Amino acid sequence: MITSQDTIAAPATAPGEGGIAIVRVSGPRSREALSRLTDRRGPFEDHRLTYCHALDENGEPLDECMAVLMLAPATYTREDVAEFHLHGGFFSSHRLMEALRQMGIRVAEAGEFTRRAFLNGRVDLSRAEAVMDLISAGSERAARCAVRQLDGGVSSFIRSCEEELTGIIAGVEAALDYPEEIDEEEACASLASKTRALALTLRSACDRRGAYLSENGLDTVICGPVNAGKSSLLNALCGEERAIVTDIPGTTRDIVTASFQSNGVRVNLRDTAGLRESGEVIERIGISKARAALTGADLCLVVVDSTRPVDPETEALLRDTAGRDRIIVLSKTDLPGCPETVRRFKNEAVALSCVTGHGMDRLRDEISRYTRYAGEGELTRMRHISLAEKAAGALESAADLADAGGALDLCAVDLHEAMSHLGSITGDRVDEKIMDEIFSRFCVGK
Ligand SMILES: Nc1nc2c(ncn2[C@@H]2O[C@H](COP(=O)(O)OP(=O)(O)O)[C@@H](O)[C@H]2O)c(=O)[nH]1
Ligand SMILES: [Mg+2]
């Protein structure tokens, strides 16, 4: 479909130094953009990369260029598309964007190319979202989920659920339209069992933990008393000198963040100020930030200094984190330990030394227990999961009504509600507001 929309342009490659920078144009004036802003005399062949020079609005050459005209509908947006492949760096693409603007071609909004692809029917909403997920994937797992979604895994799963639901709705409507021909009790029984089965299919496809881990990662806070070796541990885990390490108690005040991958999931580490009574203003703020970070964490690494007796702050911390996902780390095992402390935590804690590296693999293994999860459900995106759960809820309510024997018209209302939730996943039924929200999270140029 070629739309009559205006023509948009944006750099499609990340800004900065690089081999090439691509400026993409989409819309009815794409061909004109190429003929005005390149020195090629003849026409551009469809889908063929051609060597030429890009020109500015005055016809002055601004860079060498490989340019391509891609005619609708075999393009990303299903509109005519032009691309200018310039040298990387800021200036060429910036100058060309200015020349396009002078022609009256406007800068694309965030996600606008993909939005057009969606509106022109080239991709459904879940695939459009997958494009964004792939671009912004922060972990291998997130990228894998995105590719699966891009391949249409989510769409085909939801479509099959929609088909099943259409069948169920048709059955209910037949019973409503021809009450004398269809036995209501039978209709209700079959409705209840079918809708419950479908609700179950949807619920078991929802991989909430997987979605959370791939979208957010595992928030892990390193906490403990001052000088226990928390910052050293952060550095050792991420393999970089991120946090300042000294033997001065109270060195870390701001929260220092770093990350590493575990089972393809990003572990978001936060190193915090050591917990102690302190008179110093900045350190006190750091300590209260540490407590707040602890509250929201998915996993706590409680660092206990093996060379010292356990102080009251550590006791309190151990109490506060009991029953949560936590790993106790007994630090500095290369030094002579305090016998009491070592004896107490010998079995419960992961003993390690950041100096020798001893025990680090065991800690990584322990952390990886929290980044592994059983489910590899079809739905791994929070937006899809909450819609699928709403649909399942509506189906269960229809099943309850049917079980209670009757009110088929009310069941039908629930079933249609379920259908509309499913439709919001693929974008068959989605309003402008949701679309704005989804596409505004894209980068400009995609
Ligand atoms: N020998 C030894 N010293 C360590 C180890 N971990 C940390 N330290 C030392 O303990 C002091 C405090 O470490 P730091 O990581 O800043 O502790 P934090 O206050 O808990 O962040 C520094 O002098 C570190 O060099 C360790 O595993 N072995
Ligand atoms: Mg520190």
Per residue in 17-35, pLDDT (tens digit) is: 889 999 999 999 999 999 9
Q: Which atom of ligand 1 is nearest to the CA of 352?
A: 27
DSSP state letters, 31-50 = HHHHHHHB---SPPPBT--E
Nearest-atom index, ligand 1, CA of 251:
19
Cα first-last separation, the chain:
19
Q: Tell me how far apart the alpha carbons of residues 81 and 28 are, in angstroms, rounded to a whole number.
A: 8
Calculate how far, in angstroms, residue 243's C-alpha sits from the geometric centre of ligand 1: 11
Give me the residue spans of the domains in the chain.
8-124, 128-207+379-427, 214-371
Protein residues whose CB sits closer than 6 Å to any atom of ligand 1: 226-232, 245-247, 251-252, 274, 331-332, 334-335, 353-355
Instruction: For 70-120, write each residue's pLDDT tens digit.
Output: 999 999 999 999 999 999 988 999 999 999 999 999 999 888 999 999 999
> Which ligand has the minimum distance to the alpha carbon of residue 363?
1
Measured by CA distance, the residue closest to atom 11 of ligand 1 is: 247
Model pTM above 0.95: no
Q: What pLDDT is stored for residue 375 in this prediction?
A: 56
pLDDT digits (tens, 9 = 90+) for 339-387: 999 999 989 999 999 999 999 999 999 999 999 875 567 888 888 999 9
| Radius of gyration of the CA atoms of the chain, in A | 29
Q: How far apart are CA 262 and CA 265, in angstroms?
A: 5
Splitting the chain (446 residues) into consecutive groups of 10 residues, what average pLDDT does each group show? Answer: 74 88 96 97 95 96 96 96 94 94 93 92 89 83 83 89 94 86 83 95 90 88 94 94 88 90 91 84 86 92 96 93 96 96 95 96 95 74 92 96 86 95 87 79 78
Output the CATH code of domain 214-371: 3.40.50.300
CA distance 372 to 296: 20
| CATH architecture, range 8-124 | 2-Layer Sandwich (3.30)
Host H or E run for residue 27: none
Distance from the CA of 327 to the center of ligand 2, in angstroms? 18
Q: Which ligand is in closest contact with the Cα of 235? A: 1
CA of 218 from ligand 1 middle (Å) equals 25
Residue 435: the pLDDT is 80
How far is residue 8's CA from residue 3's CA, in Å, rounded to a whole number?
A: 13
Task: Write down the pLDDT at residue 43.
Answer: 92
- CA 236 – ligand 1 centroid, Å: 11
Considering the domain 128-207+379-427, what is its CATH architecture? Up-down Bundle (1.20)
Closest CA to 78 of 122, 115, 32, 47: 122
Q: Cα separation of 446 and 444, whole Å?
A: 6
Q: Are 83 and 77 in contact (CB under 8 A)?
A: no
Question: Where on the phi/psi map is residue 104: left (φ > 0), alpha (ψ -120 to 50), or beta?
Answer: left
Residue burial 314-345, b: 16+ Cβ < 10 Å; e: rest: beebbebbeeeebbbbbbbbbeebeeebbeeb
The CA 332 to ligand 1 mean position distance, Å, reads 7
What distances in angstroms separate CA 326 from CA 200, 323, 331, one per listed residue? 32, 8, 15
- By most ligand atoms within 8 Å of CB, the mutation choice from 223, 227, 240, 311 for ligand 1 is 227
